Amino acid sequence: YEDKIGTVVNGTVQRVEPRVVRVEVGKANGIIPQSEQIQGEYYNVGSRIKVLIKDIERDNRGPQLILSRGSEAFIEYLFRQEVPELETGAVEIKTIAREAGRRTKLAVASTVPGVDPVGTFVGGHGTRVQAVMNEVGDQEKIDIVTYDANIEQFIKNALSPAEIARVEIKESDKRATVYVNEDQQSIAIGRGGQNVR
């Protein structure tokens, strides 16, 4: 499985324990630690699920596959299945921020003039993003925003649909102060502060 690290495979749930879910993957067994699970997702013994092979842990009982559904790489892989333009290089994923089970933000860009990167990822009538959501569960919202090399503009894009008055950036501290009208404040902060995080 060395060469399969970073790929997504189908597995079958074998046991559900308080801290880990044990999954059979082909001829091997792996675990999804709590930190790699999607919050609020239920795993039923015998059900088939997609998992990312994140790592191989070696201990005295032999090697163990570490599996993930909560990582950014899992989301990226799912989009690669749905967005052929990623393979051709017409669009790219610049960065992903994920709170598994709650929200994922994808910053995307296009390398080809006239190609709308966000529309490419969303798909006609939202079919592409919906296919990814069907896999991770509807409780996780997926925002797709336009990447911008200008940090100020990028922050504005990432906080949309909130209307941002201005952004002050302190490059040395890697800090940004965002100014909004009062009626836009809760939209910008997001539920439980998730946009800000």
**pLDDT tens for residues 67-103?**
999 999 999 999 999 999 999 999 999 999 999 999 9
| List of residues 6+ apart from 190 with CB closer than 8 A | 103, 196, 197
Integer Cα distance of 41 and 137 in angstroms? 8
Residue 152 clears pLDDT 90, i.e. is over it: yes
Question: Looking at residues 183-196, what average pLDDT do you find?
Answer: 94
23 — pLDDT class (breaks 50, 70, 90):
very high
Burial class (CB in 10 A: 0-12, 13-18, 19+), 172: exposed
pTM (2 decimals)? 0.92
Average pLDDT, the chain: 96
Question: Looking at residues 117-139, what average pLDDT do you find?
Answer: 97
Q: Which two tokens stand for residue 112?
A: 């080809």
